[in-house]
Amino acid sequence: MKVILSRKGFDTHAGRIPSPIFPDGKMISLPISFRCAPTRFADAHYSYDGDDHTIGNLIIALRGRRIAPAPNDLCHTDPDLREETLAHFRGQMVDGWQASLGQDSSAQGHLRNQEVGPGDLFLFFGRFHRIDATKNGGWQYQQDANPIHVLYGWLQIGPDPIRASDPHLLNLYPWLQGHAHLCEGYAETVRGENVIYVAREYLELCEVNARGAGVFRFGSDLVLTAPFNSLCIWDLSRWWGLQMNTAFSHHNTEASRFGQNPVLFNSRGPWQELVVDSEDYPEILSWAAGLIEHHQEQ
Domains in the chain, number: 1
pLDDT of residue 189: 82
Task: Label each residue of the chain as H, E or C.
Answer: CEEEEEECCCECCCECCCEEECCCCEECCCCEECCCCCEEHHHCEEEECCEEEEHHHHHHHHHCCCCCCCCCCEEECCCECCHHHHHHHHCCCCCCCCCEEEEEHHHHHHHHHCCCCCCCEEEEEEEEEEEEECCCCCEEECCCCCCEEEEEEEEEECCCCEECCCCCHHHHCHHHCCCHHHCCCHHHHCCCCEEEEEECCECCCCCCCCECEEEEECCHHHECECCCCCCCEEECHHHHCCCCCCCECCCCCHHHEECCCCCEEECCCCCCEEEEECCCCCHHHHHHHHHHHHHECC
Could you state, in chain order, the average pLDDT of each consecutive group of 10 residues for the chain (298 residues)? 95 85 97 87 92 93 86 92 79 77 94 96 98 93 96 97 93 88 84 94 97 98 95 89 61 67 82 90 94 96
pLDDT of residue 14: 73
pLDDT of residue 243: 58
Domain ranges, residue 178: 2-295
